């Protein structure tokens, strides 16, 4: 009789463990995938800003000068472009670097914040704990 009780208890524990792991695999893939795409987009923009900072930082009047193009759409809908000359010493160089450092800081903060959101979502919350993600598929 004790043997039968032990076997039933072990089977019960295994059933609960498998049901629990099935729940843990249930996540909203689309939402997580969109979040990962956002993280990749921020990361790519951050890489571009890092390259811009490097390119501007190595400019010098003797060896390396460059033109930086800025493009925008005016209020009337017309596309405009302007080239700014950077030589490492002019005011343009310093101002563009200030902008680039500011943008890099903003992107780093955004990347850190979005990474934290993903971490919070996937550390136990991918299992339907977000009611907004629960679309009625589970009962």
All structural domains of the chain with their residue ranges = 31-71+82-118
> From CA 79, how far away is CA 57, in angstroms rounded?
29
Structure confidence at residue 139 (pLDDT): 44
Residues 13/67, Cβ–Cβ less than 8 Å: no
pTM over 0.75: no
pLDDT classification of 101: cutoffs 50, 70, 90: very high
- How far does Cα 31 stand from its chain's mean position? 13
Q: Are 35 and 117 in contact (CB under 8 A)?
A: yes
Phi and psi angles of residue 93, each rounded to the nearest 5 degrees, phi first: -60, -50
Q: What is the pLDDT of residues 41-90, one digit of tens each?
A: 999 999 999 999 999 988 888 888 888 899 999 999 999 999 998 988 88
E strands along the chain, which residues? Answer: 66-73, 79-86
Average pLDDT, the chain: 79
- Residue entry with tokens 């490097």: 54
**Cα 88 from Cα 139, distance rounded (Å):** 64
The secondary structure of the chain in percent helix, strand, coil, rounded to multiples of 5, reads: 60, 15, 25
108: part of which helix (H) or strand (E)?
Answer: helix 91-122
């Amino acid at each position: 009789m004790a043997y039968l009780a032990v076997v039933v208890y072990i089977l019960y524990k295994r059933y609960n463990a498998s049901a629990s792991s099935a729940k843990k695999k249930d996540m909203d893939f689309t939402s997580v995938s969109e979040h990962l795409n956002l993280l990749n987009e921020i990361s790519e923009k951050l890489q571009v800003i890092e390259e811009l900072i490097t390119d501007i930082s190595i400019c010098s009047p003797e060896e390396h000068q460059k033109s930086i193009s800025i493009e925008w759409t005016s209020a009337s809908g017309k596309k405009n472009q302007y080239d700014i000359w950077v030589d490492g010493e002019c005011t343009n160089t310093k101002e563009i670097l200030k902008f680039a450092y500011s943008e890099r800081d903003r992107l780093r903060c955004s990347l850190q914040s979005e990474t934290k959101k993903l971490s919070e979502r996937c550390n136990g919350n991918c299992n339907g704990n977000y009611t907004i993600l629960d679309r009625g598929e589970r009962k």
